[in-house]
Structure 1
Amino acid sequence: MQLYQKWILLHQLTCNIDADFLENLDDFEIRDDDVFIITYPKSGTIWTQQILSLIYFEGHRNRTEDLSTLDRVPFFEYNIRKTDFLNRPSPRLFCSHLPYYLVPKGLKSKKAKIIYVYRNPKDVMTSYFHFSNLVVTLEAVNNMEHFMKRFLDGNVVGSRWFDHLRGWYEHRHDFSILFMMYEEMKKDLRSSVLKISHFLEKELSEEDVEAIVKQATFQNMKSDPKANYDEILKYEVGKRTDEGHFLRKGTVGDWKHHLSVEQNERFDKIFQRNMKNVPLKFIWDLNEE
């Protein structure tokens, strides 16, 4: 109960969260063909939303339908657009930052599918630092040392990164879940699209795959108003300055430009202590710059 209360408090203070919806979340009726993207914040959520939209909707893939990615794959707990989840046509696609212990119990039937995308936490923290200084509903932080303490203590939306990932990984056998690494998606987007579509049992032609990969690159997403969230950030969430975008850099290894040697070494010790029994692979740099 303590974890639940802390999670709710953090999100009520800083986010457009639907508390009434969350109170009855355990009994939310899950359909067999529902698909959930689960991430910790700043771990590739919007990117995976775009990939799923392109996989499932031909009109999105061939650009014959003008519908935003957020409307295709709404946030489950935030419900920014006040979407009627119950009456959405199947297949319903959702994205969420929920920890494993808050998701509807129907997800444990193992029929609905979950794609969990994780990213190396140094880049997550760096991206989150910039995002917190951009979005009006989040507390601005004047330096990385201050934000690093908040991040490691879990005093941010999403709570503690280590708990989020460990929780989902340690309970993976309760769900039909695919773990995808952000950095592997960056290294080989095509193979990642095929892996996701295979997990979802979606048949794609070679032409479909090429269209998905092309439209889901970071630069193409950043220039696509339906996919880049800039309008949502400006008019529905609110930002502190006209400078800055929801999608910032999307690179691997940007943490090297923000962490001191001492901060990096301190982070490594905490990471090793918390993740020693989690055999997931992590990539810290791709030498993209």
Structure 2
Amino acid sequence: MEDPESILFKFKGYYFYKLRLNIDFLENLEDFEIREDDVFIITYPKSGTIWFQQILSLIYFEEHRKRTANLNTVDQVPFLEYYSKKIDFAERPSPRLFSTHLPYYLFPSGAKNKKPKIIYVYRNPKDVVCSYYYFFKNVILKITGSFEEFFEQFLEGKVVGSLWFDHIKGWYEQKSHFNIQFMMYEEIKKDLRGSILKVCKFLGKELSDEDIDSVVAQAMFENMKSDPRANYDIIMQSDGVPKKGHFLRKGTIGDWKNHMTVEQNERFDKIFQREMKDFPLKFIWDMNDE
């Protein structure tokens, strides 16, 4: 497998992806000026980021919802730390929408006073590690290493996003300092319409039933996968790295069962129970779980 250090950049104990990272911006991120009406999607990688970029774009932009303009979601809900186009975020009109993988301690400090709306989307970590493996295998590096090797890297936190357990626990433990709504990937998958209504309520956005229907239809995974505005394939092409897969792969619940051995699953469960003891957020591991 590729040496993780070849693509990782470590900053204040957290691993970033070297490509597209603006180091100067990162070093001054603490002082990034937050607005009260800013909206942030926060995720650990492979937890529904692109999906929520599409959902927010559909909620906020009528021209996106009605397909009257060809606007990419990555431009409408740009990554705070990875946005590669030369653009001044300070010039963007309000409300500004952002996505980020930042841990709570690297997030701009102004968020604690201005209280922008933050949506933290989390996904069961077994599916995260499987999705992540295929993302690196087919999209980023075309790695030749095995799932077993990547599984170890994930558990050691030697991936973009560092340790999954630290990321979600950190944000949850600091939730009283932020205006934050936690959303479970699996619940969104099971009840997309109900989840979108919940998001709209949190954001203070009132849409007609017709508009909600449009958001739901266009936010369905298979529809997104074929939508060039939302599927990120254009971003892959611009990196100049040969790819053999798509940015969006399956988006399913329980795919980990097709990849983890019994031993890996038992080991993961043991670590999860130790690290997440008494953690109050619910997790769904299988499509049939309630």
Flag whether TM exceeds 0.5 (same fold): yes
1:199 is aligned with what amino acid? Answer: F
Choose the corresponding residue for 1:201, options 204, 209, 226. Answer: 204
The correspondence for 1:44, drawn from 39, 45, 48, is 48
Partner-residue secondary structure (3-state), 2:235: helix
Structure 2 counterpart of 1:188, which letter?
A: D
Residues 172-224 of structure 1, C-alpha deviations (whole Å, 9 max, x = no match): 00000000000000000000000000000011111111000000000110010
Deviation, 1:4, is 4.5
Structure 2 partner of 1:122: 126
- 2:173 aligns with 170
Match of 2:138 in 1: 134
Partner in structure 2 of residue 249 of structure 1 = 250
Distance 2:229 2:209 in 1: 24
Question: What whole-Å deviation, never above 9, does each CA across 1:207-245 have from its counterpart, x for those lacking one?
Answer: 111000000000110010000001111223x4443x310
Aligned mates of 2:68, 2:256 — CA distance in 1: 39
Superposed displacement of residue 82, structure 1 = 3.1
Aligned to 1:6: 13
For the pair 1:228 / 2:214, whether they are aligned, the reply is no
SS at match of 2:89: coil
Question: 1: CA distance between counterparts of 2:87 and 2:288?
Answer: 40
Tell me the percent identity.
64
How many pairs align?
280
CA distance in 2, matches of 1:68, 1:141: 32
Verify the 8 A CA contact 1:69 1:226 in the aligned structure 2. Answer: yes
| RMSD of Structure 2 on Structure 1 (CA) | 1.6
Alpha-carbon distance in structure 2 between the residues aligned to 1:283 and 1:81: 37
Matches within 5 A, 1:1-289: 4-7=11-14, 10-11=15-16, 14-109=18-113, 111-136=115-140, 138=141, 140=143, 142-236=145-239, 238-241=240-243, 243-286=244-287
**Alpha-carbon shift at residue 83 of structure 1 (Å):** 2.8
Instruction: Please identify runs of 4+ aligned residues in structure 1 that moved more than 2 A.
Output: 3-6, 80-83, 138-141, 238-241
The 2-side partners of 1:234 and 1:249 are apart by 20
Task: Answer yes or no: is the 8 Å Cα contact 1:134–1:240 preserved in 2.
Answer: no
Specify the SS of the correspondent of 1:213.
Answer: helix
Question: CA separation in 2, counterparts of 1:150 and 1:159?
Answer: 10
Conserved? CA contact 1:253–1:287, under 8 Å: no
Query: Which AA in structure 2 matches 1:247?
Result: L
**1:287 Cα deviation after fit:** 5.1
Whether the 8 Å contact between 1:4 and 1:102 is mirrored in structure 2 is no
Displacement of 1:142: 1.3
In structure 1, what residue type is equivalent to 2:198?
K
